[in-house]
Amino acid sequence: MDINDILTYLPHRYPFLLVDRVLSCEPGKRITALKNVSINEHFFVGHFPHFPVMPGVLIIEALAQAAAILSFKTMNTRPDDKSVYYFAGIDNARFKKPVSAGDQLILEVEILRTMKGIWKYGARAKVNDAVVSEAELLCTLRAI
């Protein structure tokens, strides 16, 4: 999926859209997506200007956005203005290596289970095949 397709599956927009491309997607199973990390990112201005590092919470958010695309593709629907896809929990988050400007962040998310409207995912972010972050994510779609 290119950026135009992604924009139909995520309500996020600049500067908070953190998925640039979907490399593969198996609805009901897994997704692999890409975030190009550029020195032009707004967070680098204040997040260690002498050593620009992508904040860990934004890596987790990028993984959650990939998870949302996977969920909408699995449900064969798209987001609308009557609902929001929320975080319900983040478990076992680990940050193993810093992510810097120029890195390509590969986002790998798999559905572990769904129960009563709660989706649980196993999520990993990699740079050059090295895991930089991982977590279990819980998300839910709720009417507003």
User: Which domains does the chain possess?
Assistant: 3-143 (3.10.129.10)
Q: Does residue 83 surpass a pLDDT of 90?
A: no
What is the per-residue pLDDT across 22-81, written as a single tens digit (0 to 9) for each? Answer: 999 999 999 999 999 999 998 988 878 788 899 999 999 999 999 999 999 999 999 998
What is the rounded radius of gyration, in angstroms, for the C-alpha atoms of the chain? 15
pLDDT at 126: 98
Task: Classify the phi-psi angles of 116: left when phi > 0, otherwise alpha if psi is within -120 to 50, otherwise beta.
Answer: left
- Active-site residues, by number, are 47
Note the pTM of the prediction, 2 decimals. 0.96
Kindly tell me the number of DSSP H helices and DSSP E strands found in the chain: 2, 6
Residues 6+ apart with CB under 8 A from 50: none
> How many CB atoms are closer than 10 A to CB 134?
19
